[in-house]
Structure 1
Amino acid sequence: MKIVEGDRKLIIDGFEFYGKIQQTNFCKQCKSNLVFFDKFDTYFCLKGNSWTDSKCSDPHWKYCPSRPEYPLLH
């Protein structure tokens, strides 16, 4: 997996987004560093490509309706 980290921007295997690899927050299952994904205002596990919390169901909250099933779509 190729990771390029810049100022609040990450590129992971060619997928570019605003976020940051956390140095003090870790996945409860695999203990790898979590990544904060700015667009969806939540964390995900890079190793497992899974969100740390379930998708909310509020259609009026800007982050809920558009969040994909997996953080890294490829």
Structure 2
Amino acid sequence: MKIEEKDDKVIIDDFEIDGHIDEERCCSNCKFNLVYYEDFDAYFCPKCNYWTESKCSDPDCNYCPKRPEKPLPNK
């Protein structure tokens, strides 16, 4: 997996998102740095391809209802 950060974007292989790599937060499973995904206001592990937090229960939330099951497609 190739991962890089450029101008408030994170590029994972060829998939580009708005966000940043958090150098201080690591996956509890694999210890890889977490990535903040701005579109969904949530952190995820790009190596494990899972969200580190559950969706909220707020019916008026602008983020959680649109959040996909997995952060990265085709993985």
Structure 1 and Structure 2 fold alike (TM over 0.5): yes
Aligned residues: 74
Unaligned runs of 5+ in 1: none
> Which runs of 4 or more aligned residues in structure 1 lie more than 4 Å from their structure 2 counterparts after TM superposition?
none
Identity of aligned residues (%): 57
2:53 is matched with: 53
2:21 is matched with: 21
Q: CA RMSD in A?
A: 1.1
Please tell me the residue identity of whatever aligns with 1:36. Answer: Y
What is the CA–CA distance in structure 1 between the aligned matches of 2:61 and 2:33, rounded to whole Å? 27
What is the CA–CA distance in structure 2 between the aligned matches of 1:11 and 1:35, rounded to whole Å? 10
* TM value normalised by structure 2: 0.89
Question: How do 1:1-74 and structure 2 match up within 5 A?
Answer: 1-74=1-74
**Partner deviation per Cα, 1:22-45 (whole Å, 9 max, x = no partner):** 111011111110000001111001
* TM value normalised by structure 1: 0.90
